[in-house]
Amino acid sequence: MTESPLDAPRAWAELTDPADPAQRLRLDLTWLTSRWRCIYGAGCHGIEAGEPDAGCCTLGAHLTDDDDHARVAAVAGRLGPDGWQLVDEARDEGWLAEDEDGERVTRVVDGACIFLNRPGFPAGPGCALHQHALAEGLAPHTTKPDVCWQVPLRRGYRDVERADGTSYLEITIGEYDRRAWGPGGHDLDWWCTGSPEAHTAGEPVYVSQRAELVELVGQEAYDALARLCEEHLAAVDALRESGRRHLPLLVHPATAAASPGQEVGES
């Protein structure tokens, strides 16, 4: 299936952060109510052609700050050979590296992140940090690098100056599309957020990614976000039942392509 256009119309909502009046949230309702899901091991093509088992782990994960590094280091220290295929490699050479800009990244070994367990490993393929979280009953965002657990969500910040001289911090929550990878994102052989193949979840993103969203914006803001998403979906359902034409921004194009039932009929 063809990936949806990067600049497809979107429905956005803005509101003041309930926990901090100096902040406003800008929310991509089209994305948050989409039916995306991670299909690693269930149809994922991988970002490099012919490497589906590497998923999006072909590149090393950038660590955002000291807290990010400390969290991953603590989990890495608890992992053993039964849960981490390349643990000996990590103990001999380390799991951390620096990119060309001097930023900390997880090492790439044999074409993928050092934390990626390959096919044939007894514990199964996939991220050792993620698998450890599931085995211990933890939320994956408590064990993985920020950039890894935040996908498919993208959080952005912008200082906004009003005409009256006041200002606020705008926090945007949207889709981690190809552009979020930087200029190289356009060269990925496949990316899931725009692919109808990955829009087959039984529940919308704002529900499936609840823990991650709460971590990103806080509980009060998440509650407000969820209410807006529910109202958005109710409006879509009402249009669908009436058979009236809808604006294309109401339903994510990949979700609509994956399930005709998600489309709103035309009059």
Categorize the per-residue pLDDT at 263 as very low, low, confident or very high, splitting at 50, 70 and 90. Answer: low
**Are residues 171 and 134 part of one domain?**
no
Total structural domains within the chain = 2
pLDDT band at 267 (very low <50, low <70, confident <90, very high): very low
Q: What average pLDDT does range 52-76 have in this prediction?
A: 95
* Mean pLDDT calculated for residue range 198-209: 97
pLDDT of residue 138 exceeding 90, the answer is yes
Amino acid (1-letter code) at residue 246: H
pLDDT over 90, % of the chain = 89
pLDDT bucket at 246, cuts 50 / 70 / 90: low
What is the pTM assigned to this prediction? Answer: 0.92
Give the chain's mean pLDDT: 93
Domain end call among 103, 125, 150:
150
Q: Average pLDDT, stretch 179-199?
A: 96
Read off the tokens for 14.
Answer: 């803005």
What residue numbers bound the domain in which 199 lies? 1-52+152-267
Q: Are residues 141 and 261 in the same domain?
A: no
The predicted structure's pLDDT at residue 50: 92
Q: Reduce the secondary structure of the chain to three states and give it as a string.
A: CCCCCCCCCCCEEEEEECCEEEEEEEEEHHHHCCCCCCCCCCCCCCCCCCCHHHCCCCCCCECCCHHHHHHHHHHHHHCCCCCCCCHHHHHHHCCEEECCCCCEEECEECCEECCEECCCCCCCCEEHHHHHHHHHCCCHHHCCCHHHHHCCEEEEEEEEECCCCCEEEEEEEEECCHHHHCHHHHHCCCCCCCCHHHCCCCCCHHHHCHHHHHHHHCHHHHHHHHHHHHHHHHHHHHHHHHCCCCCHHHCCHHHHHHCHHHCCCCC
Residues 43, 131: one domain?
Answer: no
175 and 121 both lie in a single domain:
no
List, in order, residues 6 or more apart from 186 with CB less than 8 Å away.
178, 179
Last residue of a domain, one of 123, 150, 177: 150
pLDDT in tens, 76-124: 999 999 999 999 999 999 999 999 889 999 999 999 999 999 999 999 9
